[in-house]
Amino acid sequence: MKILVTGGAGFIGGNFVHYMLNKYPNYDIVCLDKLTYAGNLSTLKSVMDNPKFTFCKGDIADKNYVDKLFCEHKFDIVVNFAAESHVDRSIENPQIFLITNVVGTGVLMDCCRKHGNIRFHQVSTDEVYGDLPLDRPDLLFTENTPIHTSSPYSSSKAGADLLVLSYFRTFGLPVTISRCSNNYGPYHFPEKLIPLMITRAIYDKSLPVYGNGLNVRDWLYVEDHCRAIDLIIHNGKIGEVYNVGGHNEKSNIDIVKIILKQLGKSEDLITFVEDRKGHDMRYAIDPTKIYNDLGWLPETKFEDGIKKTIEWYLENQDWWKEIISGEYKNYYDKMYGK
Ligand code: NAD
Ligand code: DAU
């Protein structure tokens, strides 16, 4: 079995590469990644010498490059993680989100069609459903919830999802889509809430919470997401969408307080800053379908996952210090003010 993993130098793709090489030592994994600001080869350092792993630097939206790659390798499955993934950056500069997230997905699927109708899995997000109100805890996103996006990021992911489903209906391409809630865990780029707060709190820096901090996200440990994708690519029904989430809703302010408590730091570090434009209020996934069809349930309790994650950031400071010392510093200053 040979699997193309795009975006494997990023957070979830990187965790997926490690997960798959461990679980299936006989599989060949090829990683295609453009190494944008979010891609880090150090995430893949421990597998670079593994003969079952190949890294290729390239852009999923570059159709000549991708076609050449498909000529060189006979892939059995393509799993597309590659994306521009940060909502705040999509508000600053939407264009690249359209190119990578929509055009890139189209290029990959055209190559899947051309090279033997290859099985394609799209890693999508619960953000395509828009948001839910705080005062209706009974409401959850199901696979039938209408697409109703808020940000250029989520709109580009929704555009890609619709394209994927159209390739199934029009061309019979064997596709599946997973729509997952917020992930956390090792190798998470420190522009996102949990790693941002951990890495700043370690050094007693202010913690920028948007608005009143009451927005809710449904957190899932990244390994549980990898296991869900593993099940879908092996046993999922072609043409189907699967929601993936942990029934683990927490407000942003509670998340920040949990991190501070775990690190033994003062809540005085919390600084309320201007709200995100178009900020989604609440996400919450109903994972009934993936449980009924594939037997998937989250295995990592939040209290254990967050402890493991904080320990990982404490023990792997070289990984994230290199990131925050470079171009990222300019982004942080521009985004949050000096
Ligand atoms: P990330 O930003 O950490 O990683 C993205 C990776 O894609 C990087 O390695 C980057 O270099 C690569 N990439 C970007 N543009 C590319 C291009 N044009 N060609 C090739 N590679 C390119 O993202 P992540 O958080 O790991 O998210 C991975 C996927 O999962 C994304 O599709 C995202 O929409 C989806 N998702 C993320 C979450 C989450 O909580 N992080 C939740 C649900 C779904
Ligand atoms: O739900 C899945 C999505 O989760 C993925 O599709 C996205 O790729 C991923 O980035 C994530 O999107 P969010 O916008 O939910 O994640 P982020 O970590 O950026 O923000 C989480 C919450 O924390 C959100 O309500 C905004 C808030 N926040 C974020 C940052 C960066 C703050 O309060 N302060 C911050 O500095």
What is the reported pLDDT for 327?
86
Query: Is 36 a pocket residue for ligand 1 (Cβ < 6 Å)?
Result: yes
Any idea which ligand is nearest the CA of 282?
Answer: 2
Average pLDDT over residues 145-159: 98
Q: State the closest ligand 2 atom to the C-alpha of 280, by its place in the atom list counted from 1.
A: 25
Q: Which residue has the tokens 């951990």?
A: 198
What is the H or E stretch that residue 304 is in? helix 302-315
User: Dihedral of the CA atoms 302, 304, 305, 307 (nearest 10)?
Assistant: 120
* Closest protein CA for atom 25 of ligand 1: 11
6 with 32: CB under 8 angstroms? yes
Amino acid at 299: E
- Angle formed at CA 220 by CA 216 and CA 226, multiple of 5 degrees: 145
Active site residue 126: yes
Q: State the closest ligand 1 atom to the C-alpha of 104, by its place in the atom list counted from 1.
A: 18
pLDDT tens digits for 258-303? 999 999 999 999 999 999 999 999 999 999 999 999 999 999 999 9
Average pLDDT over residues 203-209: 98
- Angle formed at CA 180 by CA 174 and CA 184, multiple of 5 degrees: 135
59 with 65: CB under 8 angstroms? yes
DSSP structural state of residue 170: H
Average pLDDT over residues 204-219: 98
* Residues contacting ligand 2 via CB (< 6 Å): 85-87, 125-127, 181-182, 192-193, 196, 208-210, 215, 217, 252, 276, 283
* Positive or negative: CA dihedral 179, 180, 182, 185: negative
Q: Which residue has the tokens 């171009």?
A: 327
Active site residue 153: yes
CA of 277 to the centre of ligand 2 (A): 12
Contacts of 19 (CB under 8 A, 6+ apart): 223, 226, 227, 230
Q: Is the pTM of this model over 0.95?
A: yes
Q: Which residue has the tokens 């359209």?
A: 98
Q: State the closest ligand 2 atom to the C-alpha of 191, by its place in the atom list counted from 1.
A: 31
What is the reported pLDDT for 338?
58
CA of 114 to the centre of ligand 1 (A): 25
283 with 217: CB under 8 angstroms? yes
Q: Taking the mean position of all CA atoms in its chain, how far away is CA 123?
A: 8
pLDDT tens digits for 37-90? 999 999 999 999 999 999 999 999 999 999 999 999 999 999 999 999 999 999
Kindly state the tokens that stand for 271.
């600084």
What is the reported pLDDT for 184?
98
Q: Which residue has the tokens 């000529």?
A: 71
pLDDT tens digits for 212-234? 999 999 999 999 999 999 999 99
What is the reported pLDDT for 159?
99
The DSSP-derived string for 71-87 is HHS--SEEEE--S---H
CA dist 256 and 259 (Å) reads 5
Q: State the closest ligand 2 atom to the C-alpha of 193, by its place in the atom list counted from 1.
A: 18
Active site residue 299: no
Kindly state the tokens that stand for 118.
């290859």
